[in-house]
Amino acid sequence: MATDLLINATSYEVRIALIEHGNLVEFHVERPTEKGLVGNIYLGKVVRVLPGMQAAFVDIGLERTGFLYVDDIHISTDSFEKRLKNCGEGAACCDNEPPESLGVRTPGKSIEDLIKEGQDILVQICKEPIGTKGARLTCHITLPCRNLVFMPMTDHIGISRKMEDEALRQRLRNDIEELRPAGTGFIVRTVAEDATREDLEADMEFLLHVWSEIQDTAQKTAPMSLVYEDLDIILRVVRDTFTADVDRLVVDDAKTYQRVLKFIQTFAPHMLSRVFKYDQGVPIFDAYGVEMDISRALDKKIWLRCGGYIIIENTEALTVIDVNTGRYVGKTDLEETIFKTNMEAVREIAYQLRLRNIGGIIIVDFIDMEVEGHREEVFRAISEAVLKDKSRVNILKVSEFGLVQMTRKRNREDLVNMMCEPCPYCGGDGLLKSNRTVCYEIFRRISLGAKNISGPSVTIKVHPKVAGMMLKEEAVTIHHLEDEIKKSLTIIPQKDIHMEKYEIIWESADAAASDQSKRQLETVGKEG
């Protein structure tokens, strides 16, 4: 089946879907109010240097300050090339986004020797602000184009590790060596596999011109300001994803269609015949069945074809995926039932990680397997299943407890965080106190404050469900409590009150002794 790239563009939202063999495998969404920042270049001001963390906070004019690590400030060319080689010669940056620090501290240089508080500094965002964290910044500017990634600060030539033909790699390396200005760096992207020398030269001239404009703008711009804005999500995805593997690029908006045509005419004219304008009556995502796949990608529980299922739980520190047999009971052998469920879960897990853009630490709890060969087979299967993933994935072998530890490079917010928000009722906990728990909490508070009650009664305002339990199932307890405190209890259902909140109103002993008739009010709940 064909591979299609679909663009659904409106004034309020842009949605892009990559369909492989009829399945949604990548989904991107961007709204004008939540536009992505990766790739943007700012003239920032250092507001705080942290020697203990070998990092600094830089104000770039956004709501939160950015985070700049020492290795993103200073690194020798030899160290940079070594680190690129260790990560697959630019694998992280050849095909997706500007590279961030590759994780090895540069010896002999401390951050306080490199930058000072109050200093102006040119930085690029290499990781979006996520949750409460500010953007990750780097001084190693990178400018991607169709075939090349330009690194003006680094003397290096890299070739995408996905190109396996050594003769092709050497030819491309020679072309770049002859064309590039001295002291500059370029990485050849995977899409350049069929590029001619003229294509590479055109990209190089364009990138050098962009860099010259950035330098001029930076000299005229006030600190904490945007110097260069990367392409919007439409042209960025077309640049990075519309490769020879994609059969059709389908756009449903006329204005966007013309923008895409103009962009491809400039950077990939040989791909023009694959671009189509969608003009059917049915919305494009409905016609391709994408809407259902998006809804499924937001579910916590995903059913497998065999009858088993996986549960995906996101926490602040990591993502946990639990595999269960569910309705699948197998035929005769328990171990085979477990193995088949785990193997089917492997494919679904790799698919969901890519679709939901889940990053960071991931723990997969497979069903325990007694046979060592089965554990090895599951590890091989999950290693192969993530090969198509453009984000870097590292996997450890299956432990004796059936756990697989893995990491996936986090580039932006995952799909669930982008499209959902915590429940305003439970506050994101996913759980509420039971009605009976709330009842008993109220009883304890009344008993504790009984000595301060001087009036003849106590009024309790609660959610109707809690009130119903008090008046029916807990009627005997209410009677005993009234005898204990020698006061009558009046229960008033309140429709607009939170299920865990309640109000206890009584006349206090202190108020009764004074000239003023005061009432004691106690409001308790999730915030109290």
Residue with tokens 């029916």: 472
Distance of alpha carbon 438 from alpha carbon 464, whole angstroms:
12
SS3 207: helix
Residue 309 has pLDDT above 60, yes or no: yes
| pLDDT for residue 347 | 92
| pLDDT of 78 higher than 80 | no
The mean per-residue pLDDT over the stretch 69-87 comes to: 59
- Cα distance between residue 323 and residue 114, in whole Å: 48
Place of tokens 């530890």: 405
Angle formed at CA 459 by CA 454 and CA 463, multiple of 5 degrees: 155
Question: Rounded to whole angstroms, how far apart are CA atoms 7 and 141?
Answer: 29
Asked if pLDDT for residue 458 goes beyond 70, the answer is yes
Question: Count of alpha carbons within 13 Å of 324, Cβ hemisphere only?
Answer: 11
Q: Tell me which residue of 414, 425, 335, 342 sits closest to 385, measured CA to CA.
A: 342
Q: According to the per-residue pLDDT averaged within each range, which of 307-316, 403-412, 436-445 is highest?
A: 436-445
> For the chain, how long is the longest CA-to-CA vector?
98
> For residue 515, what pLDDT band results from cuts at 50, 70 and 90?
very low
Which has the minimum average pLDDT: 100-114, 122-136, 343-357, 437-451? 100-114
Arithmetic mean of pLDDT over the chain: 84
Q: Take residue 522 and report the two structure tokens written for it.
A: 């106690």
Pairing between β-strand 3-9 and β-strand 143-144 as defined by DSSP bridges? unpaired
Backbone dihedral angles phi then psi of residue 394, each to the nearest 5 degrees = -115, 135
Are 409 and 394 in contact by the 8 Å Cβ rule? The answer is no
Q: Do 250 and 4 meet the contact criterion of CB atoms below 8 Å apart?
A: yes
Q: What does the pLDDT average to over 42-58?
A: 92
Which range among 128-132, 348-352, 427-431 has the greatest average pLDDT?
Answer: 348-352
More confident call, 71 vs 309:
309
Q: At what angle do helices 475-485 and 435-448 cross, to 10 degrees?
A: 10
Q: What percent of the chain has pLDDT over 90?
A: 46
**Model confidence pLDDT, tens digit, residues 203-226:** 899 999 999 999 999 999 899 999
What is the DSSP code string of 308-363?
-EEEEEE-SSEEEEEEE-TT---SS-HHHHHHHHHHHHHHHHHHHHHHHT--EEEE
Give the model's pLDDT for residue 76.
47
pLDDT at position 107: 53
**What does the angle CA 321 – CA 325 – CA 326 come to, to the nearest 5 degrees?**
100
Mean pLDDT, residues 187-194 taken together: 86
Residue 493 binned pLDDT confidence (cut-offs 50, 70, 90): very high
Residue with tokens 């020398």: 197
Q: Rounded distance, CA 387 to CA 195, Å?
A: 24
Mean pLDDT to the nearest integer, 293-306: 88
Q: Is 522 exposed, middle or buried (0-12, 13-18, 19+ CB in 10 A)?
A: middle
* Ordered domains of the chain (ranges, CATH): 3-31+239-291 (3.30.420.60), 40-228 (2.40.50.140), 300-419 (no CATH), 435-524 (3.40.1260.20)
Q: Is the pLDDT confidence value at 520 over 60?
A: no
- 155-165 pLDDT tens trace: 888 998 878 88
In the predicted model, what is the mean pLDDT of residues 31-48? 87
